[in-house]
Amino acid sequence: MFGNYDVPVNIAQEGISLSIQTEGGSLRYIRECLGEKVEKIILTNSSKILINPIEPLSKPKELTPYLLIELGNALVVEPKATQKVFMKFPIEIGVFISKDGDLEILDVFTLLKPKFTLYGDPRIGFICKYFKSDVYPSVPAADCLHEGVIELNITNTTTSWIEVTKAIFNAYGMKIYYNDNLVSMRANMKVKGAQIAESDFIDSPFETEMRKSLELYAVRKLSIASTKSVMELGL
């Protein structure tokens, strides 16, 4: 499903129905997914369409740039060590329209049930998009329309054993890569204390032939203060 398309477009896959048809001098965009229907008229006659996985933070409402992944099994990391593990992360699907290299987001949808959570306490914590994933020693099988796989390099910089039960990522820094079978991200998590960790993303794919996703925040031309996320209220 992911990739570049020329108009007209007709996609029907896993409960997603997406079509872009020429109608006079304009285009009619219709998308149906999980009971939600979006219909738009695009005033152009020659545009290209790009569909790719994007940062999972727009649906149902853009409330936060943070994604919290709760680990199905707690990770215990030895002191002064770096370990590589794999987890799944939720994806949203972005439909972009472009003309002469100028891209604009047309639609965002997801096949997953979204959920939010609070990290920390109501006074000094923050709202995060919530997802629960098991931890895998190697790349797990994942349905690329629903989930991606994140490679997490956890470094315990302390001299004590550390238990990690969750990881928080900042969507502004996400670097998503995809091919026909897999959506992936690579990230580092540096544990700096029993309650403190910092995470950021690595801008490289699992496999060389994977394509880089167009980032939603890049299209919006936002000035980003930081792409890291800091966990100071518990791991």
Partner 1 sequence: MILNKVVYGSVTLLDIVIALVVLLIAFLVAKILSLYLRRFLKEKVAKGHLEIIAKVVSYTIIIVAVLAILPTIGIKLSGLLVAGGIAGLAIGFASQSIIGNLISGIFLMIERPIKIGNSVNIEGTGGIVEDIRIISTTIRTFDGLYIRVPNQKVFTASITNFVANVARRFEYVVGIRYSDDADKALETIKNIIEDHPLALKNPAPQVFVDNLGDSSVNIIVRIWAPSTEWFGVKTELLWKIKKAIEKEGIEIPFPQRVLWFANEPKAQEVRTSESHDSGSH
Q: Which residues bind to partner 1, rule: CB under 8 A?
A: 60-61, 63, 113-119, 122-123, 125-127, 130, 222-223, 225
Residue with Cβ nearer partner 1 (6 or 36): 36
Instruction: List C-alpha distances in Å: 175 to 54, 163, 227.
Output: 9, 26, 11
Distances (CA, A) of 144 to 25, 59, 175: 35, 17, 16
Q: Are 129 and 114 in contact (CB under 8 A)?
A: yes
68 versus 210: smaller Cβ distance to partner 1: 68
Instruction: Render the burial of 19-50: b for 16+ CB within 10 Å, e for the rest.
Output: ebeeeeeebebebbbeeeeeeeebeeeebebb
Nearer to partner 1, 64 or 157 (CB): 64
Beta carbon of residue 234, minimum distance to partner 1 (angstroms, whole number) = 11
Nearer to partner 1, 43 or 225 (CB): 225
Shortest distance (Å) from residue 109 CB to partner 1: 14
Helices (H), 1-126: none
Residue 28 CB, nearest approach to partner 1 (Å): 29
Q: How far is the CB of 225 from partner 1 (least distance, A)?
A: 7
Closest approach of Cβ 55 to partner 1, in Å?
Answer: 16
Q: Residue 15 class from Cβ within 10 Å (0-12 exposed, 13-18 middle, 19+ buried)?
A: exposed
What value, to the nearest 5°, has the Cα angle with vertex 223 and ends 219 and 225?
130
Q: Return the number of the residue (97 or 128) whose C-beta is nearest partner 1.
A: 128
